[in-house]
Amino acid sequence: MVDPSSDRAQAATDAESAFMTLSHDRRLEILLALWDASGFSLSFSELRKAVGVRDSGSFTYHLSELQGHFVAKTDAGYELQYPGHRVLDAIQSGVFHEQVAVGPVDLESDCRECGERLTFEYDTDYIARIRCQDCGNRALEWPFDPGGIAGRDSDAMIRAFDRRTRLIWSCALDSVCPFCAGRIDPELTGHVHEEGACVGVIEQLDRYDEYFARDHPAVISVDCERCSFYSFVPVGVVLLTRPAVVGRLHEADIDLRETPLWDLGFVVDPDAVTVRQTDPIRAEVMIPDANESLGYLVDGSLDVIDERDR
């Protein structure tokens, strides 16, 4: 039997040595020069010129440290490898060195609690917030990278936030970590009041009280087995990727592609969700904005049942 803690210790050692490889700014300059080059490849002399190092010995040393993992030696010279691309992607996301604040920017959307305008705000804690300045309603909050802000006007960054949050949620609900590709076992959890007692343990989940949708009677917890990704997803999000639901809502005048998440009542409105049973768990999600009465049941396997088919 493999001891997972020794596996983890080995992974930490390996990761530390990979990070140490990047610990000299000259090495990042080499990666960046290859990234800028056509085909991500340069000859030795082109690469040295691009990085602008006079001391050949030191340049050769730093290049050799990157070689074999971040950079490969080819017939034509040196080529950036997948791990090198991923290092640069992480840098370009801006989370290591940029702190940006935006807003509040008024949205076209109304608060479901009080009817005032919702706003978009992005803060230096890397969280984008869709909320109501009047009543404090937190419609949606999720981490967003500074890369989503740079080079976009406010409409475009708000749309990018909507798109990226959907992508992360749908990937996590499909059991794949959107950050490290590791395993996630999404778990529908909720509570219901039965005979005066609260059944279900949703409030005991780690960090649940910080979650924007903590007033929802059920959520899906997602916890990556490999990296630090841990969060909750509103139950209604399951419906976004079910073709039968997408088609049905289209007929009911709800365009799931064009409507931002915070305008989808079944995603952000706690009143749209009811726990129908706890063992095994089943949550009902109503569609408050449809032009007819529509409801779906979501079970513990995240299977979706149209209530009209029951």
In the complex, what is the shortest distance from the CB of residue 273 to Zn ion, in angstroms, rounded to a whole number? Answer: 19
CA distance 8 to 73: 31
Report if residue 114 touches Zn ion, rule: CB under 5 A.
Answer: yes
* Binding track over 226-245 against Zn ion, x by CB under 5 A: xx-x----------------
Report if residue 212 touches Zn ion, rule: CB under 5 A.
Answer: no
* Binding track over 116-155 against Zn ion, x by CB under 5 A: x---------------x-xx-x------------------
Report if residue 182 touches Zn ion, rule: CB under 5 A.
Answer: yes
In the complex, what is the shortest distance from the CB of residue 20 to Zn ion, in angstroms, rounded to a whole number? Answer: 22
CA distance 12 to 235: 35
Is the separation of the CB atoms in 117 and 70 below 8 Å? no
Question: Which residues share a beta bridge with 277?
Answer: 282
**Residue 192 φ then ψ, to 5°:** -145, 150
Q: Where does this chain touch Zn ion (CB under 5 A) — which range of 22-30, 71-79, 143-151, 217-225?
A: 217-225
Q: 84: buried, middle or exposed (CB in 10 Å: 19+, 13-18, 0-12)?
A: buried
Closer to Zn ion by CB, 19 or 61: give it: 19
**Which of 79, 113, 289, 306 is in the footprint of Zn ion by CB under 5 A?**
113
Is the separation of the CB atoms in 231 and 288 below 8 Å? no
Query: Structure tokens of 223?
Result: 């916890």
Sign for the pseudo-dihedral over CA of 194, 214, 137, 120 = negative
Binding site for Zn ion (CB under 5 A): 111, 113-114, 116, 132, 134-135, 137, 177, 179-180, 182, 224, 226-227, 229
